[in-house]
Structure 1
Amino acid sequence: MEKFWVETRTDAQGRAVVVPHGELDLATQRQLREAIQELLMAGQVDLVVDLDHTTFLDSTALGTLIGARRRAHALKGSLALRCHRTQLLNVLRVTALDRVFTILEDE
């Protein structure tokens, strides 16, 4: 089993960036949810989830991202996704989540 971890940092625009490394699925989505929740509770309401180090994304992970977006918006914030991985972009397109999330492909 591939090791999974979540890194957090701040980008040049002052947004909190959450970077999941490895497979994001039922077994690991809780770590992502908790990292995002900690940032939101600390007042970081403009977030980016950088999926460039994510090797797999399942439906539970998608649900986690949708829930995190809702929580950020409830706090008058935002949650965007950064993604350059074709496989993951295809998942977002097939599920129509590319219409729900702002996808930062050019950053």
Structure 2
Amino acid sequence: MALQILKEENNDVIIIKPVGEVDIYTSPDLKETLTEIINQSNVNMVIDGEKLEYIDSTGLGVLIGALKKIKEKERNITITNIKPNIKKLFDITGLNKVFVVKE
């Protein structure tokens, strides 16, 4: 399945809405988008997972890398609206303690 990445700017926050699946094939697209945003702006980021169907370890690695880069700018990434299967993955890996995850 392909990945579509929607972006929405809202004051001092950029909302990223991945649509589809983030896996070994599509994670480079997500990485490129997140890196570009982090390099070009100094805002907090929200990843809205409402339409994110699946994410694998490659995708999680992309999120961790983006979090490290954005923390250097003293900003943060908040993850919202994730499906139960993805929330479970965040809980199992302990990433729910690294990222701000909101229902």
Mapped contact 2:12–2:43 kept (Cα < 8 A):
no
Mapped contact 1:45–1:76 kept (Cα < 8 A):
no
The structure with more strand, counted as a fraction of residues: 2
1:58 to 26, 45, 56: 56
**Per-residue displacement from partner, 1:36-63 (whole Å, max 9, x unpaired)?**
1111122143101111111111001001
Partner of 2:37: 39
Distance 2:84 2:42 in 1: 29
What are the equivalent positions in structure 2 for 1:26-105 lying under 5 Å apart? 26-105=24-103
Distance 1:102 1:18 in 2: 15
| Alpha-carbon shift at residue 96 of structure 1 (Å) | 0.7
Which 5+ residue runs of structure 2 have no aligned equivalent? none
Distance 2:78 2:44 in 1: 8
Equivalent position SS for 2:60: helix
Q: TM-score, normalised by structure 2?
A: 0.92
Distance 1:84 1:55 in 2: 9
What is the one-letter code of the residue matched to 2:5?
V
Distance 2:6 2:42 in 1: 15
User: Which aligned segments of 4 or more residues in structure 1 are displaced greater than 6 angstroms?
Assistant: none
Partner of 2:15: 17
Instruction: Give the total of aligned pairs.
Output: 103
Distance 1:67 1:84 in 2: 19
Q: TM-score, normalised by structure 1?
A: 0.89
